[in-house]
Amino acid sequence: MRTFETDRLALRGWEAADADFAFDLYSRWEVQRYIGREPKVMTDPAQAVALIERLRGHEHPVHGYWVVVERETGAQVGTVLLKAIPASVGVERDDTEIGWHFHPDAWGHGYATEAAAIVLRHALDSGIDEVVAVTAPDNVASQGVCLRLGMHAHGLSDRYYDVTCALYSTRA
Ligand SMILES: CC(C)(COP(=O)(O)OP(=O)(O)OC[C@H]1O[C@@H](n2cnc3c(N)ncnc32)[C@H](O)[C@@H]1OP(=O)(O)O)[C@@H](O)C(=O)NCCC(=O)NCCS
C-alpha cells in the first residue's frame, strides 16, 4: 500500500502495534455514533486486534486503509479509508468511497481534511473516475470535511448501505 506525507501528517498502513490506538478510537461513542447502520462501540481490545488483522489482509492496487500519524509527535490521530462501497439492494453500482475516523483529541486541527485530501488526490490520479463520501444526515462534522475537500453535495440518497445518507462526490 502506498504511504503519503503532508505538511503535518504521515499516512501508513495499519500495524499490529496500533491495536491500543484502534481500541481507544473505536471504543468511543463520539467516534462511533454516526458509523454503520447500527452504531456500537468496541468493548474488548481483542476486537481491535481482529480489525487490524482484517485491514492488513486487504490488498488492492489503489484502495487502502491508512493510519494517520502526526509527524511532529509520531502519535496516531486517525484513519482514512478508500474502499468499494456496498450499493443498496436493487441498486446496480460499483463505486469507491472515501471515509475518515479521527480521535477526538485530534479534532479541530484540520487533520481529517489534510489527510483525506491526499488520499482523494491519489484515488483520482490512479484512474478512479469518481469518489463518493456518505455521512449520516446529522453528521455535520463529517459533512464539513466533504465540503472542505471540495466535494459536490447531492443531498440525501438511499443508494448505498440500505440507509439514507447525505451523499457527496468528486470526479477526476
Ligand atoms: C468527521 C471528523 C473526522 C471531522 O474532524 P474535524 O477535526 O472537525 O475536521 P477537519 O480535520 O476538517 O478540521 C476542521 C476543523 O479544524 C479547524 N482547524 C484548526 N486549525 C486548522 C488548520 N491549521 N487547518 C485547517 N483547519 C484547522 C477548523 O477551523 C475546523 O474547526 P471547526 O469545525 O471548529 O470550524 C471527526 O469529527 C470524527 O472523526 N468524527 C467521528 C468519526 C466520523 O463520524 N467519521 C465520519 C463518518 S461519515
Residue 100 CB less than 6 A away from ligand 1: yes
How far is Cα 126 from Cα 86, in angstroms, rounded to an integer? 21
**To which H or E segment does residue 150 belong?**
none
pLDDT by residue (tens digit) across 126-137?
A: 999 999 999 999
**To which H or E segment does residue 45 belong?**
helix 45-56
pLDDT by residue (tens digit) across 84-115?
A: 999 999 999 999 999 999 999 999 999 999 99
pLDDT of residue 37: 86
Residue 141 Cα, ligand 1 centroid: separation in angstroms?
Answer: 6
Domains in the chain: boundaries: 4-171
Residue 139 CB less than 6 A away from ligand 1: yes
Please state the atom number of ligand 1 nearest to the C-alpha of residue 31.
Answer: 41
Residue 63 CB less than 6 A away from ligand 1: no
How far is Cα 137 from Cα 156, in angstroms, rounded to an integer? 7
Nearest CA to ligand 1 atom 40: 31
Q: Which fold has domain 4-171?
A: Aminopeptidase (3.40.630)
How far is Cα 138 from Cα 118, in angstroms, rounded to an integer? 26
Residue 92 Cα, ligand 1 centroid: separation in angstroms?
Answer: 32
pLDDT of residue 1: 86
The amino acid that residue 162 corresponds to is D
Residue 90 Cα, ligand 1 centroid: separation in angstroms?
Answer: 34
Residue 12 Cα, ligand 1 centroid: separation in angstroms?
Answer: 20
Mean pLDDT in consecutive groups of 10 residues from the start of the chain, 172 residues: 96 98 98 94 98 96 98 98 97 97 98 98 98 98 98 98 97 93
Residue 34 Cα, ligand 1 centroid: separation in angstroms?
Answer: 15
> Residue 110: how many CA atoms within 13 Å on its side-chain side?
8
Nearest CA to ligand 1 atom 19: 109
How far is Cα 81 from Cα 90, in angstroms, rounded to an integer? 25
